[in-house]
Structure 1
Amino acid sequence: MTATAARLTALGRAELTLLSRNRNNLFIALLMPVLMIFLLRQSLSGLDDDKVPMGIGGATLVGGTGMVLMLVVYMSLVSTLVARRDELVLKRLRTGEARDIEILAGGALPATVIALVQCAVLTVAGPFALDTAAPDRPDLLILGVLGGIVLLAALATVTTVITRSVESAGLTTLPFFLVSSVGSGLMLPAGSLPDPLAAVCSLLPLSGVMDLIRAGWLGVAEVGAKDLLGAGITTVAWIVLSVFAVQRWFRWEPRR
């Protein structure tokens, strides 16, 4: 094991221990996605068939995958990083051997593992539970999930800049959650939006990821090859912008 891998493992293990002691974050990471997928299934059942051409089961699996990433990676990681910042843990870690990227990656490791496990369970058990087909393009589904994890981890780190305390994390993460739920296709199928609004929403941070996930579950024809290329470009662009924002504005200690 290399020195970098050893440091990441140690940081991830320590963060996982702290996560297990925080019932609020543990609830968000483990139980909230299950609850939200159930609510998503119930809300989709009330829509007309013409608004859900992919079927209720398919829409639930697509939106459920995005919901897992949003809740487990983005929302829980914001709270985690703010808590470690305010406890001066991040500042103390910078005095050691670990590099900045290793500290942030180690902090995101437990959320990443939990998200991957939950997505894997949803991929295996979801088609049986909802009576739908297995993923049509598993490669695109994996690419979308991994891209979503990287993007949402970076966006979570950026969001800590405007989050003054753990208590306010729920407020600072809410706008992005709501906008993505409607505009990026988490709660509502993207095809249910009017064309002009859908064109604008396709540029939202999570829209490219959701297009990749949708193509992974339902096939390239559901998204379109040209739109799929645009989804990949949009995702990479937002990752680059988010990483730049982290390097430029991330705070390693609380405001005085």
Structure 2
Amino acid sequence: MTTTTTPQAARTTAAGRLGALTRAELVLLVRNRTALFVSLLMPLLMIGSIRAGLDRVGLEGTGMSLVEAAMTGGVGMVLVIVVYLNLVPAYVARREELVLKRLRTGEATDTEILTGTALPSVAITLVQCVIMVGAAVAFLGVRAPQRPELLVAGVLLGVVLLGALAAYTSTLTRTVESAQLTTMPLFFVTAFGSGLFVPLEVLPERVEAVCALLPVTGVVTLVRAGWLGGADTGDLVRAGATALVWTAVAVFAVRRRFRWEPRH
């Protein structure tokens, strides 16, 4: 008597699922000219605005030149624009088109779905940061990163934090068009309160103390300390702790409140 066996359906791996989601999201990103503009050109325009604004600010006592302040603020601006401003409408669009709901019926986990949607923006962010640092050192006379490990840690922590904040902001956003409004509060608070346009060192002491507690301030502090050096251990510990706390809060909020189905 012979027995026959039927092959089991091949199961996908986490890496394979993430790769498929990332490729699909990348195709959608390339087709979306507005998203491409936000990702590739808007950060460069904002760096020009940062430098123009710093012309009116005295940087004496900050230990930074005009170009150094603009370029380190530019890294933070890339994180905010390419990760946060780009991902909020992406999550909203996928939700309203029932893409997220359909993906949850397959093998992909919730974390894989959210991560796969974010990976193209994350990749663009990392490439832009590398190019920005290299170009600033090679052509603008900016000193090479003094503590590269802090610079890398700040950028990676910023990616996770702003990705989580984008996912949470999408729960407050009804349509792709309204994302232009729901993202503005965090964008403006970060741009003017977290040291992107104006280094915190030039602000009054009480204002600086309040701004130090904002979500992205810790990330910007780590980026500047990693690139330019000069920060003491206490400041770095506080910056890292602030960024980690905000990241934990954002991830917890996403796990509890993220919407997978269209809002009615």
**TM (normalized to structure 1)?**
0.96
Superimposed CA distance per residue, residues 93-124 of structure 1 (whole angstroms, 9 cap, x where no aligned partner): 00011000000000000000000000000010
Partner in structure 1 of residue 139 of structure 2: 129
Instruction: Note the residue ranges of structure 2 that are not aligned, 5 or more in a row.
Output: 1-11
Following superposition, the deviation at residue 21 of structure 1 comes to 0.6
Alpha-carbon distance in structure 2 between the residues aligned to 1:51 and 1:145:
25
SS in 1 for 2:213: coil
> Any conservation in 1 of the 2:14–2:112 contact (CA below 8 Å)?
yes
Q: Which runs of 5+ in 1 are unaligned?
A: none
Matched, 1:227 2:241: no
Distance of 1:76 and 1:49 partners within structure 2: 31
Q: Find the structure with the greater CA-based Rg.
A: 2
Deviating more after overlay: 231-240 vs 140-149: 231-240
What's the counterpart of residue 160 of structure 2? 150
| Aligned counterpart, 2:257 | 249
SS at match of 1:254: coil
**Bigger mean CA offset, 120-129 vs 242-251:** 120-129
In structure 2, the residue corresponding to 1:63 is in which secondary structure? Answer: helix
Cα distance in 2, alignment partners of residues 205 and 143 from structure 1:
16
Which structure has more helix as a fraction of its residues? 1
The structural deviation recorded for 1:52 is: 5.2
Matched residue type, 1:225: T
Residue pairs, 1:139-178, within 5 angstroms: 139-178=149-188
Counterpart code for 2:157: G
2:109 maps to amino acid:
R
1:64 to 65, 74, 81: 74
C-alpha deviation, 1:62, in angstroms: 1.1
Q: Identify the residue that residue 209 of structure 2 maps to in structure 1.
A: 199
Q: In the aligned structure 2, how far is the partner of 1:162 from the partner of 1:228? A: 32
Per the alignment, residue 32 of structure 1 pairs with: 42
CA distance in 2, matches of 1:15, 1:49: 42
Counterpart residue type for residue 38 of structure 2: I
Q: Paired residue for 2:148?
A: 138
User: Cα RMSD (Å) of the superposition?
Assistant: 1.2
Which is worse superposed, 12-21 or 48-57? 48-57
Further displaced range: 240-249 or 35-44 = 35-44
> Could you tell me how far apart the structure 2 residues matched to 1:59 and 1:232 are?
20
In the alignment, structure 1 residue 209 sits paired with structure 2 residue 219:
yes
After TM superposition, the structure 1 stretch with the greater mean CA deviation from structure 2, 179-188 or 49-58, is 49-58
With the length of structure 2 as denominator, give the TM-score of the two structures: 0.93
Where in structure 1 do 4 or more consecutive aligned residues deviate above 3 Å? none
TM superposition shift of 1:51: 6.9
Q: Structure 1: which amino acid aligns with 2:239?
A: A
